[in-house]
Amino acid sequence: MASRTVPQRGFTLDYLMFLFTRISGLSIILLAVIGLVTAFIMGARTQMDLGTLMRWTFFPNPNHVINSDIPDLTAGWANAYWNVMQMLVVFFAFTHAANGLRMILEDYINRGVGQILLRGFFFLLWAFMLILAYNVIVMM
């Protein structure tokens, strides 16, 4: 069995992504709390049911809510504030996710051409999903 090399120390990709994973995880929790609170401030208590509110917290997109059989929201909910909130959640979530998948697979594929292809694949997937999400969020 081949020996594993000890990773170098310092500002490597793995160290930066280690930090990013923790910070983005905390950011998503924080964004969810901010989203919940501001939704209540904007009148969610009387306009939404519990399920809608939970969806709105993570996917604040009126289009999406209409798509999934949830009662209509008033037009006042489709604004830039929620677009920015959702874009932030999606950005943190997908960067966290693509890096997490890369880490899981690099436990098995951790050298040579395989690793390069793996990283390339996850970079493309990450870019693709962000572009898709941007379209869903902004093109209403």
Partner 1 sequence: MAFGKYNGWKGFTYRGGGPMLVFLLHRITAVGIILFVGLHIMASFSIQQGVWGDFGVFINTIYESFWFQIFVVFCVLFHTLNGLRITILDFWPRLLKYQREAIWLEWAIFVPIYALTIFIMIQRGLAG
List binders of partner 1 among 108-127 (CB under 8 A): none
Minimum CB distance to partner 1, residue 22 (Å): 5
Please identify which residue in 12, 68, 79, 110 interacts with partner 1, judged by CB under 8 A: 68
List binders of partner 1 among 1-20 (CB under 8 A): none
Burial class for 101, CB neighbours closer than 10 Å (0-12, 13-18, 19+): middle
How many Å apart are CA 48 and CA 33, to the nearest integer?
Answer: 17
Show the binding pattern over residues 69-88: x = contacts partner 1 (CB under 8 A), - = does not.
Answer: x-------------------
Please identify which residue in 14, 20, 52, 64 interacts with partner 1, judged by CB under 8 A: 64
Contacts for 8 with CB less than 8 Å, ≥ 6 apart: none
How many Å apart are CA 128 and CA 85, to the nearest integer?
Answer: 20
Minimum CB distance to partner 1, residue 118 (Å): 16
